[in-house]
Amino acid sequence: MKKEQLGELIIASEDTMYHVARTLLRNDADCADAIQEAIVKAFTKLHALKSDAYARTWLIRILINECYKIMRTEKRIVSLESYMPEESAEQSKDYSDLYEAVSQLPKDARLTIILYYVEGYNVREIAQLLDLSESAVKNRLARARARLKNELEAKEAL
């Protein structure tokens, strides 16, 4: 892959990169830092990419590693308000319980749910991104779905 092709891939993956970073970091400044570092690292390590077919997965994996690096260096407690994406009043009214339930999932389950439902990755791609087996990804999705269902049913009963 040439640098021009990588640049085009980065531009095409802009939204995905932001969603993945936001899922892990929840702070726009940290997200921007992680994305910027991932892009720099992708350009400098382009020779390490073995197959162009996996370029997008490789780029997202670099981003996830950069997010984890930021999380390790800046461990802190984040309030629920800064942890949920900003949206219009109508959307937050309709889906606030769902966003809250997703935000309360453990980090690994939350990332798996976001990659699967928001970004549209399939189980095999998620397994490659997170260095897991496909069955581990399926188990995470099943547990996260069950937990979300229980939390939403409990809120509905109130």
Nearest to 1 by CA among 41, 40, 45, 35: 45
pTM of structure: 0.62
Residue 113 is which amino acid? I
User: Looking at 83, 107, 123, which one is the last position of a domain?
Assistant: 83
On average, the pLDDT of the chain sits at 83
145 in the same domain as 97: yes
| Paired tokens of 66 | 């950069």
Q: Are residues 10 and 77 in the same domain?
A: yes
Residues 94 and 16 in one domain: no
pLDDT, one tens digit per residue, over 26-45 is 788 899 999 999 999 999 99
Q: Is 111 exposed, middle or buried (0-12, 13-18, 19+ CB in 10 A)?
A: buried
The answer on 66 and 11 residing in a single domain is yes
The token pair that represents 73 in the structure block: 């260096």
Q: Are residues 62 and 103 located together in one domain of the fold? A: no
Domain range for 103: 87-158
